[in-house]
Amino acid sequence: MGEMVDLGNEDNARGYLAVPDEGSGPGLLVIQEWWGLNPQMKGTADFLADNGFVALAPDLYHGELAGHDEMDKAGHLMTSLPAVQAADDMSAAIDFLLAHSAVASASIGVVGFCMGGMLTMMIAAGRGDAVSAAVPFYGYPTSDEPDWEPMSAVVRGHFSANDDFFPADGARDLETRLQQMGKDVQIKFHDAAHAFMNETNPFGSHDADLAGELWPEVIDFLQHQVS
């Protein structure tokens, strides 16, 4: 369904764009896991386009990928990704969507997984002018937090209650602090392990029943919040 597009920034970043059959819809940024912009993440963008969104997944690793049997490489790609570059590429993707003729919304939603969940929170804070809804899955900034004050997005996160990568206690603490700042942030903690939404099952933790329950909820939230 989708195609690779140039995002038009100085980093020469690209992304995978999927447009619904109807030809238009609200704009949605889809942020990759630490594996990179792989077929599963492109498939997620396609799935969201099937549900009415103009979905754009920026290639934050600029063509680099790690396989599910290459966790060391995935960790290296994630930790060596310059924060400034990631922020610039995501911001360019938002601007690309806002300027695209198929995008029928004046704001953008963001959904991301693992590393992408962390970056979903980061770009919601960094682009408070454009991001109206954010759905982070099992990922949040564990250090070098952004300035949360500009964040205007409504945040509905989904996290694992048993997560060795992004511990639930840290997510609860962040949720409390953001709520005390007056931010509309709610996080649900599920009795599932990390990466429970990933149907390719890289950690043996995919929960098909839970994913089937959450996707309609997430889609409904984004459809109502991104306008």
Q: What is the mean pLDDT of the chain?
A: 97
Q: How many Å apart are CA 183 and CA 176, to the nearest integer?
A: 10
Q: What is the mean pLDDT of residues 67-80?
A: 97
Which of 110, 138, 113 has the alpha carbon at shortest distance from 124?
A: 110
- 132 exposure class (CB count in 10 Å sphere: 0-12, 13-18, 19+): buried
Just give the CATH number of 3-225.
3.40.50.1820
- pLDDT tens digit sequence for 146-195: 999 999 999 999 999 999 999 999 999 999 999 999 999 999 999 999 99
- pLDDT tens digit sequence for 78-107: 999 999 999 999 999 999 999 999 999 999
Q: How many Å apart are CA 161 and CA 151, to the nearest integer?
A: 25
Q: How many Å apart are CA 156 and CA 132, to the nearest integer?
A: 11
Name the phi and psi angles at 122, rounded to 5: -65, -45
Share of the chain above pLDDT 70, in %: 100
Count CB atoms within 10 A of the CB of residue 62.
15
Could you give the C-alpha distances from 69 to 39, 137, 164, 171, 199, in angstroms and in order? 15, 22, 18, 28, 16
Res 1: pLDDT = 77
Q: Which are the catalytic amino acids?
A: 114, 163, 194
DSSP line for 167-220: -HHHHHHHHHHHHHTT--EEEEEEEEETTTT-TT-TTS---HHHHHHHHHHHHH
Q: What is the pTM of this model?
A: 0.98
Q: What is the mean pLDDT of residues 65-78?
A: 97
Residue 123 has pLDDT above 90, yes or no: yes
Structure tokens at 153: 């997005």
Count CB atoms within 10 A of the CB of residue 87.
17
Residue-range domain boundaries for the chain = 3-225
